[in-house]
Copies of this chain bind each other. A is one copy, B any other.
């Protein structure tokens, strides 16, 4: 006995919207069997009706205005694939929830900025707000954290959350080419946008991390732009020195809730070359969660692309069709923990520091002295080339120390006449 169809409206027919529609058409019969009811697109909305998207849209109601579609009758779920933290995307979701519809979205910026508020609106109307596709593409990481690890107190979650950055760093290591050239290559291949800032400055990863933290720890969603560093300053030298020291450079998002504060940061890291996360290359994403009973769970897969993202969107639709709608962050919005964020300066850990130094008598002693004055202890020191009077790279790693001490030491070093520039990268050993 089949139940009534689940009626879907898709707002936004870019590559993900088109692929989601194609998936629902191709696997319609199987999905109906898995859900006990048909999952049917009934309406779509996009700006340009004439564009050929490679799929037959003739059976669906066409809306110029996504907001009007979200308010229309005869629709059970609105799939928001427009993008952007505010504007039309947000309005479509709010209108759909107010009109008693479930919302499925792939919009990480929207959930990172307004997730708690949208969860409240969804809960008040008894609707679902689902966003599996917003984090780590096709990897079912939201489901794993909210349901699969629901028995655990999860104290840490970290991962490679941006495929563009991971591709660039992997290619820099493989080819020895500098950042700018690899970025340009990624843009040609479609792995990086023409305006790459959202990806390479770490914002996209920080959006995803804020969502992961909320689901993992049962806390309100906090997007914290101030704890975010991108990869623009990482040079080919850094990648080679890291390699020599037994590390790889990865842009990681890291969130911890083991104290009373919420630690949440995105920045390049040196990770041990033999660690599982160091093996995750190119456009792949990885999410690693630490729970008190399950210990460590690692999930790896494609973090972007039309197919994987459509897979995640439709997984959410399958949950709705099966009647399995949960509170957005795994518990009622008014029970979410609003723990205060930890400033980045409270980090404790080891550091990698590369300095461009004019090779003069006494400069190494001055560097060592500046760190030692702050109680920062040096673990390794590399100076390969000697070119008296010329600029040479000097690299050091420290034993674990406080970020505040490291930054004070670095400020003193930057003030030295012989030091031209520096690159500081945190070392994380998971």
Given contacts A276-B279, A296-B302, A301-B298, contact A319 B147 (CB under 8 A): yes
Judge whether A335 is part of the interface by a CB distance below 8 angstroms.
yes
Q: Contact mask A148-159 → B, CB, 8 Å, 1/0?
A: 111111000000
Contact indicator A149/B153 (Cβ below 8 Å): no
CB distance from A151 to the nearest CB of B (A): 3
Q: How many identical chains are in the complex?
A: 2
A153 to chain B: which residues have CB within 8 Å?
27, 30
Q: In whole Å, how far is A263's beta carbon from the nearest beta carbon of chain B?
A: 20
Among the stretches A138-146, A183-191, A226-234, the one at the interface with B is A138-146
* Chain B residues with CB below 8 A from A150, complex form: 31, 34, 314-315, 318
Interface: A68 (CB within 8 A): no
Q: Are B151 and A27 in contact (CB under 8 A)?
A: yes
Please report which residues of chain A, range 278-335, place their CB below 8 angstroms from some CB of chain B when the two chains form the complex.
279, 291-302, 305, 307-308, 310-315, 317-319, 322, 324, 326, 330-332, 335
CA of A304 to CA of B23, assembled, Å: 36
A149 adjacent to B293 (CB under 8 Å): no
Given contact pairs A23-B151, A34-B150, A301 touches B310 in the complex (Cβ within 8 A): no
Contact B295 A298 (CB under 8 A): no
Closest B-chain residue to A136, C-beta based?
A: B297
The main secondary structure of chain A at its interface with chain B is mixed
Contact of A331 among B33, B292, B302, B331 (CB under 8 A): B33
Q: Closest residue to A319 on the B side, CB-wise?
A: B147
**Interface size range on A against B:** 35 or more
Query: Which residues in B have their C-beta under 8 angstroms from that of A298?
Result: 298-301
- Considering the chains assembled together, what is the distance between the CA atoms of A292 and B22 in angstroms? 12
**In the assembled complex, how far is the CB of residue A344 from the closest CB belonging to chain B, in whole angstroms?**
28
Sample (20) of A-B pairs whose CB atoms are under 8 Å apart: A27-B151, A30-B218, A33-B332, A34-B330, A34-B331, A138-B291, A138-B293, A140-B143, A140-B144, A140-B148, A143-B143, A147-B324, A151-B313, A152-B311, A294-B308, A295-B307, A296-B302, A297-B299, A297-B300, A298-B300
Binding site for B on A (CB under 8 A): 19, 23, 27, 30-31, 33-34, 36, 132, 138-140, 143-144, 147-153, 218, 276, 279, 291-302, 305, 307-308, 310-315, 317-319, 322, 324, 326, 330-332, 335
Besides A36-B332, A298-B299, A322-B324, 20 new A-B residue pairs in contact (Cβ under 8 A), listed by A number = A23-B151, A27-B152, A31-B151, A33-B332, A138-B294, A139-B148, A139-B297, A140-B147, A140-B149, A143-B147, A147-B318, A151-B315, A151-B317, A151-B318, A293-B307, A294-B311, A295-B302, A296-B302, A297-B301, A298-B301
